[in-house]
């Protein structure tokens, strides 16, 4: 019979047990469940609610249970439904009647909400650290290839030349905000539900502030009904993970494109690619593809939990038990993908010649030409028009913009000067974008230095030399 069997004359039917058990997945919360129980028991004794001697027995018993769990020797019982009752039952087995006092002034409703917040707080830190390792991998790839230039794309069409490092730094900015989001969410996670009881608080003089302090919570949740009914911090956490996954997916897509034969902008190490069972020549970017693919299940977890919550009347409903599997899966998935991506990036070798060749199409410098006219005083619209006519003229003649001589250029751009002919150079083009946030080597180098400070990275001698060469 379950621990709540008092008013029942029959045990739950087998199917009911299958439907309602959560021990098969909530067992991962055990360190937090025990941590919460230790703090709770200590407070109960301090408040004179349970005898000090019983609290001492409970604490030593819980430590024994923890050891069994850590070592894998703990025997989980499905009929005990969840991690809370599995631990409590074993505790009582070990310490006798004192164990029966642990659940005083507490419900599984405020207990699970507390366990989850303790778990999420740790996960926010762990995932933050994993994002940092990915940031370091991106930084290294950027810093080691500081001079490489590739075409920047809009609409997946050649747009303007950019530094490869600038492209990677864009992802670093995104991931940097992801860490901020996780840490911001962590502040709201870090509040104590315990003391809410089933929903209305307790008639016993519980010291919630004490428990909060014991567990490192910044504060207590001040409404008992809110404390047991909501899962908004889990939703927020999943939203932050969904954004991380979305960013990773875009990075993965860029890498898959760069790795295709048509682009051949990057090589990926053998250990991070896979072959085909049929086509012997194949080397596929499966890490990138799976990173992209796994984004779906992270979004799914977010949508699932939002949907679970939307129709629930206050306060606790058993539906809330469905908050876990998707959350756990999203957390595991994002961690796996982050660390695999970081390891893969360490094997990525850009092909600087291929990139530069693609970025050297003079058409990519058409904007530079229009801006040269603006510098002469021409309104931008007019400059755009003249350069557009020039581009059309060259296309009709079947020549590149760089192949037209000054005379030909002046047919559509009457004020063209000999300097205009030197515009079609990707190095000049990137160097000219020397404003904050631009792709000029000086700007990008500054960004790399900023990130190096944040990440505790050092510029290698080679990248220092490259940066100097870039400045000249």
- Binding-site ranges for ligand ARG (CB under 6 A): 22, 82, 108-109, 112, 318, 320-321
φ/ψ of residue 143, rounded to 5: -70, -30
Helix (H) / strand (E) element for 310: namely helix 286-310
How many Cβ atoms are within 10 Å of 347's Cβ, its own excluded? 17
Spatial separation of the C-alpha atoms in residues 164 and 97, rounded to whole Å = 67
Give 115-137 as a DSSP string: HHHHHHHHHHHHHHHHHHHHHHH
Q: CA distances (Å), 65 to each of 15, 90, 110, 114, 404, in order?
A: 29, 7, 21, 19, 81
Is 276 annotated as catalytic? yes
Closest by CA position to 146, among listed 428, 431, 358, 444: 444
**Residue 153 burial (CB < 10 Å; 0-12/13-18/19+)?**
middle
**From CA 292, how far away is CA 252, in angstroms rounded?**
6
Task: Judge whether 370 and 380 are in contact, CB under 8 Å.
Answer: yes
Phi, psi (deg, nearest 5) at residue 228: -95, -20
Q: How many residues does the chain have?
A: 472
CA nearest neighbour of 29 among 83, 101, 102: 83
Measured from the CB atom, the residue of 152 and 304 that comes closer to ligand ARG is 304
Closest CA to 38 of 62, 68, 65: 62
* Torsion angle (degrees, nearest 10) of CA 4, 232, 187, 450: 140
Closest contact distance (angstroms) between CB of 461 and ligand ARG is 55
Note if 339 is an active site residue: no
Q: How far apart are alpha carbons 442 and 9 in whole angstroms? A: 78
| Residue 190, H or E segment | none
Among candidate residues 260, 276, 415, 460, the one labeled active-site is 276
264, 354 Cβ separation under 8 angstroms = yes
Distance set, CA 15 to CA 18, 23, 26, 79 (Å): 5, 15, 19, 11
66 vs 384: CA distance, rounded Å: 71
Task: Spot the catalytic one: 9, 71, 155, 277.
Answer: 155
Question: Residues with catalytic annotation?
Answer: 155, 276
């Amino acid at each position: 019979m379950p621990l709540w069997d008092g008013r029942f004359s029959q045990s739950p039917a087998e199917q009911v047990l299958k439907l309602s058990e959560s021990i098969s997945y909530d067992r991962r919360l055990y360190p937090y469940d025990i941590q919460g129980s230790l703090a709770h028991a200590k407070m109960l004794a301090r408040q004179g609610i349970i005898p000090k001697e019983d609290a001492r027995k409970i604490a030593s018993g819980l430590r024994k249970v923890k050891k069994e769990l850590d070592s894998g020797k703990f025997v989980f019982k499905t009929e005990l439904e969840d991690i809370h009752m599995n631990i409590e039952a074993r505790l009582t087995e070990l310490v006798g009647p004192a164990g029966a006092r642990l659940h005083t002034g507490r419900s599984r409703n405020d207990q699970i909400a507390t366990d989850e917040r303790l778990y999420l707080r740790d996960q926010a830190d762990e995932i933050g650290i994993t994002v940092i390792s990915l940031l370091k991998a991106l930084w290294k790839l950027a810093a080691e290839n500081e001079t490489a230039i590739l075409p920047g794309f809009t609409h997946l069409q050649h747009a303007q030349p950019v530094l490869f490092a600038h492209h990677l730094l864009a992802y670093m900015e995104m991931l940097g905000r992801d860490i901020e989001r996780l840490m911001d969410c962590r502040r709201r996670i870090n509040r104590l539900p315990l003391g809410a009881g089933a929903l209305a608080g307790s008639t016993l003089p519980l010291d919630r502030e004490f428990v909060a302090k014991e567990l490192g919570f910044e504060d207590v949740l001040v409404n008992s009904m809110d404390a047991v009914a909501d899962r908004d911090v889990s939703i927020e956490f999943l939203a932050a993970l969904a954004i991380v996954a979305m960013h990773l997916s875009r990075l993965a897509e860029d890498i898959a494109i760069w790795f295709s034969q048509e682009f051949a902008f990057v090589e990926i190490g053998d250990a991070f690619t896979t072959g085909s069972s049929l086509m012997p020549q194949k080397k596929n970017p499966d890490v990138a593809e799976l990173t992209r693919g796994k984004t779906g299940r992270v979004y799914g977890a977010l949508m699932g939990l939002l949907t679970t919550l939307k129709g629930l009347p206050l306060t606790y409903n058993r539906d809330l038990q469905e908050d876990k599997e998707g959350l756990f899966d999203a957390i595991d998935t994002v961690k796996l993908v982050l660390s695999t991506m970081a390891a893969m990036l360490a094997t990525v070798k850009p092909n600087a010649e291929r990139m530069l060749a693609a970025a050297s199409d003079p058409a990519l410098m058409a904007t530079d030409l229009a801006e040269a006219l603006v510098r002469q005083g021409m309104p931008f619209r007019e400059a755009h028009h003249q350069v557009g006519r020039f581009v059309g003229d060259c296309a009709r003649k079947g020549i590149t913009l760089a192949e037209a001589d000054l005379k030909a250029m002046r047919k559509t751009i009457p004020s063209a000067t000999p300097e205009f002919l030197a515009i079609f150079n990707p190095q000049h083009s990137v160097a000219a974008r020397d404003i904050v946030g631009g792709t000029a080597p000086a700007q990008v180098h500054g960004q790399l230095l900023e990130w190096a400070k944040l990440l505790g990275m050092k510029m290698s001698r080679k990248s220092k030399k490259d940066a100097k060469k870039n400045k000249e």
